Amino acid sequence: LKAIVDHKTDGHKVHRADKYIHHNGRRSLRKTTKGWHMCVEWKDGSTTWERLADVKESNPVQLAEYAVANGLEDEPAFAWWVPYTLRKRDRIIASVNKRYHKRTHKFGIRVPKTVEEAIQIDLENGNTLWQDAIAKEMKNVRVAFDIKAEGASAPVGFQEIKCHMIFDVKMENFRRKARLVAGGHMTETPATLTYASVVSRESVRIALTIAALNDLQVKAGDILNAYLTAPVSERIWCRCGLEFGQDAGRIAIVKRALYGLKSSGASFRNHLADCMRELGYKPCQADPDLWLKPEVRPEDGFK
């Protein structure tokens, strides 16, 4: 669902005069959605009329905000649930913001929120631990950006996003960690599927069991900055921040699937699938994220 664009009644709605019900001398709001239909716009641009009850079930916050914006919050079909929904939304947002800003230390080490704060902490401590973490991350992530010349204008047809650093302290040696992430919430949701599937636990257990029964060697690997190996599927740009050093303030076109973008997971999964096929692997019919390639063991001819 992209947006709620209109509403109508079919003549069976409960009128405002009948908004309350009385039971044992107590007055309460009537819980009803009868007679209301909402016109919703989908990601592909099409629109359909749906029952209020169905839209409320799937997108309660979006519907509550639409009701307030269009002066419907006093209607019986909305009055009994809209105020509660918006209060709950505000509580959740406030709770998340409070937790984020409340965390200032980890393992007794002060964790910065911004690049400027990271530099200030290093100056106070007389070291460059946070700046080294930023430099290491930027060395790996610069491949994702096509930085334009100074004074270049924003490209036509591209969406602007903001990028920022996330800081953490790892348990091993209290290593400082910095990760550049994109503000994917600023872009429109792609019309194509953005879900990225992963191999199931059952498939992993079965594969390990087969390896153990047939005396096969098991190897594990990790792809460094995995998302950055895949091309981005969105047309986006950003303005370089302080972490880009001498390029700060310049416009950069995002060329790789940055962490934080809506489509990054699907982009990496599709890119990985293409690479596996080029290596001669084929997906298992029972689990498309389990890849198989026939081989023969030289010593005994086991296939």
CA 135-136-141 angle, to 5 degrees, is 95
Tell me the C-alpha distance between 256 and 228, whole Å. Answer: 5
**């929904």: which residue's tokens?**
85
pLDDT value of residue 2:
86
| Neighbour tally for 84: CB within 10 Å | 11
| Cα 179 to Cα 177: distance, rounded to the nearest angstrom | 7
- Asked whether the beta carbons of 4 and 55 are under 8 A apart, the reply is yes
Question: Sorting pLDDT into bands at 50, 70 and 90, what band is 234?
Answer: confident
pLDDT tier at 33, thresholds 50, 70, 90: very high
Average pLDDT, the chain: 90
Give tens-digit pLDDT for 148-187: 998 888 889 899 999 999 999 998 889 999 999 998 777 7
Burial class (CB in 10 A: 0-12, 13-18, 19+), 14: middle
Only one residue has tokens 């992430």, namely 181
Q: How far is CA 264 from the centre of its chain?
A: 9
Q: What is the pLDDT at residue 180?
A: 93
Average pLDDT over residues 209-229: 90
Whether 60 shows a pLDDT value over 90: the answer reads yes
pLDDT exceeding 70 applies to what percent of the chain?
A: 97
pLDDT confidence of residue 68: 94
CA atoms of 90 and 8, how far apart (whole Å) = 28
What is the identity of the amino acid at 77? A
Q: If we measure between CA atoms, which residue out of 78, 80, 74 comes closest to residue 38?
A: 78
Query: What's residue 101's pLDDT?
Result: 64
Q: How far apart are CA 180 and CA 246, in angstroms?
A: 17
Query: For residue 123, what are its two tokens?
Result: 């100056």
Which pairing describes strands 282-283 and 251-254: parallel, antiparallel, or unpaired?
unpaired
- Scanning the chain, the segments in alpha helix (DSSP H) are 52-58, 60-69, 76-79, 82-102, 115-125, 129-141, 201-213, 264-278
pLDDT digits (tens, 9 = 90+) for 82-106: 999 999 999 988 887 777 666 788 8
Tell me the CB-side half-sphere exposure of residue 157, using CA atoms within 13 A: 2
The CA distance from 254 to 187, in Å, is: 13
Q: Using 50, 70 and 90 to split pLDDT, how confident is the model at 45?
A: confident
Cα-to-chain-centroid distance, residue 169? 22
> In this structure, are residues 14 and 77 in contact, taking their beta carbons and an 8 Å threshold?
yes
Region 229-248: mean pLDDT is: 91
Q: pLDDT value at position 191?
A: 61
